[in-house]
């Protein structure tokens, strides 16, 4: 599945995955339409090789900086249950802009944002990075919507993040499915390790 997915990748593609970590269950509950995934990254090519640029915390990324991984590492079946590839409607110029923006953040070592605060740009979480990169790349042609946690979600997330409930309850979160449940983004293919089934969508 990973080998096939790698052959499908193009620059600017969105790759989403469902991790086996308990935190993934809390994160994917923010998805309002599709709760299939809990993490996201953007594909950029270096020397003709595709890498997934993403921000994550925990044991997978001790320094908590924006990192780049091969698709096989990002979608490792030992750590994940599923992954999917989506493609944005981006021009060649926009893809170059996207590459410049994300690589600049990579060189700066942007770190994971434990406060999930969209108002700050010195730290970001995965879907925030993707949404802000898209907005800057397309001069706001592509704006990713945000999701407000329900009271129950805010309670669970407050306990998980150790942030005050009043703070969490007022947040706007870029949910993972906010990134691809839109007309400007199309399914390329999704894979489910658990059921060993493959689902085909559009390939532009």
* Sheet strands (E) in 105-172: 111-112, 123-124
- Write down the pLDDT at residue 166: 96
Domain ranges of the chain: 2-200
**52 pairs with which residues across the strands?**
43, 69
- Write down the pLDDT at residue 79: 93
- Write down the pLDDT at residue 85: 98
> Chain centroid to CA 197: how far?
22
- Write down the pLDDT at residue 160: 85
- Write down the pLDDT at residue 199: 43
- Write down the pLDDT at residue 25: 85
Query: What is the tens place of the pLDDT at every residue in 175-187?
Result: 999 999 999 999 9
| DSSP structure class, residue 150 | P
How far CA 171 is from CA of 88, 119, 152, 195, in Å, comes to 26, 10, 14, 35
Q: 2-200 sits in which CATH class?
A: alpha beta
Below-70 pLDDT ranges, the chain: 195-204
- Write down the pLDDT at residue 26: 84
**DSSP symbols for 42-83:** EEEEETTEEEEEE---STT-TT-B-EEE-HHHHT-TTTEEEE
Pairing of strands 39-46, 14-19: antiparallel
In a 13 Å sphere around the CA of 152, the CA atoms on its Cβ side amount to 3
Pairing of strands 80-88, 49-54: unpaired
């Amino acid at each position: 599945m990973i080998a096939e997915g790698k052959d499908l990748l193009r620059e600017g593609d969105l790759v989403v995955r469902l991790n086996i970590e308990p935190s993934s269950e809390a994160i994917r509950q923010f998805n309002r339409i599709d709760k299939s995934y809990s993490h996201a990254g953007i594909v950029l090519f270096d020397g003709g090789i595709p890498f997934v640029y993403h921000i994550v915390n925990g044991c997978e990324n001790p320094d908590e900086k924006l990192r780049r991984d091969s698709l096989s590492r990002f979608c490792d079946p030992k750590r994940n249950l599923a992954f999917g590839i989506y493609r944005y409607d981006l021009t060649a110029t926009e893809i170059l802009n996207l590459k410049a923006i994300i690589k600049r953040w990579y060189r700066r070592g942007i770190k994971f944002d434990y406060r999930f605060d969209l108002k700050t740009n010195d730290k970001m979480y995965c879907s925030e990075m993707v949404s802000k990169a898209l907005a800057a790349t397309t001069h706001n042609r592509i704006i990713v919507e945000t999701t407000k946690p329900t009271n129950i979600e805010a309670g669970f997330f407050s306990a998980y993040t150790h942030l005050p409930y009043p703070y969490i309850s007022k947040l706007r979160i870029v949910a993972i499915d906010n990134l691809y449940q839109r007309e400007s983004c199309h399914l390329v293919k999704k894979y489910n390790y658990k059921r060993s089934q493959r689902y085909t969508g559009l390939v532009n």
